[in-house]
Structure 1
Amino acid sequence: MSTTLTVEGMSCGHCEQSVEEAIEALDGVRSADADRDAEQVTVDGDASQEDLVAAVEDAGYDAAP
């Protein structure tokens, strides 16, 4: 299953990497691809949207489904 979240606050490649690593640490996530220009992250896996949003927010960014 693929899920896309809106992520605000990413301004560089390091930001993208931080978001991807935070999400990929969740159980059930196979991969995450953050795009700062689109302000989105696409996640492949079966983690809940709530868990995905929480992981992004814990990494210091604003997220919404």
Structure 2
Amino acid sequence: MSTITVNGMHCQNCSNSVKEAMAKAGANNIVVDLEKKCVSWEGCLTKEQAKEIIDNQGFDAVL
């Protein structure tokens, strides 16, 4: 499972938008932890690809 830190997520809507975008890109078993400010996933997405997807949703992913 890969994990990336994400700043700027505050609520369930934030979580849902990230999950939907990552799922469309091929990620599986996506877990958003708002308290720890991170997203974990399985699948073929690299951290760099995940960062681009998350950044495009208006959040700040940190590698």
TM-score, with normalisation over the residues of structure 2? Answer: 0.90
Residue 38 (structure 2) aligned to one of 37, 40, 50 = 40
2:53 alignment counterpart: 55
Structure 1: unaligned runs, 5 residues or longer: none
CA shift at 1:31, angstroms? Answer: 2.6
- Partner Cα distance (1:18, 1:48) in 2: 19
1:10 alignment counterpart: 9
1:19 alignment counterpart: 18
Size of the alignment, in residue pairs? 63
TM-score, with normalisation over the residues of structure 1? Answer: 0.87
CA shift at 1:22, angstroms? Answer: 1.2
Structure 2: unaligned runs, 5 residues or longer: none
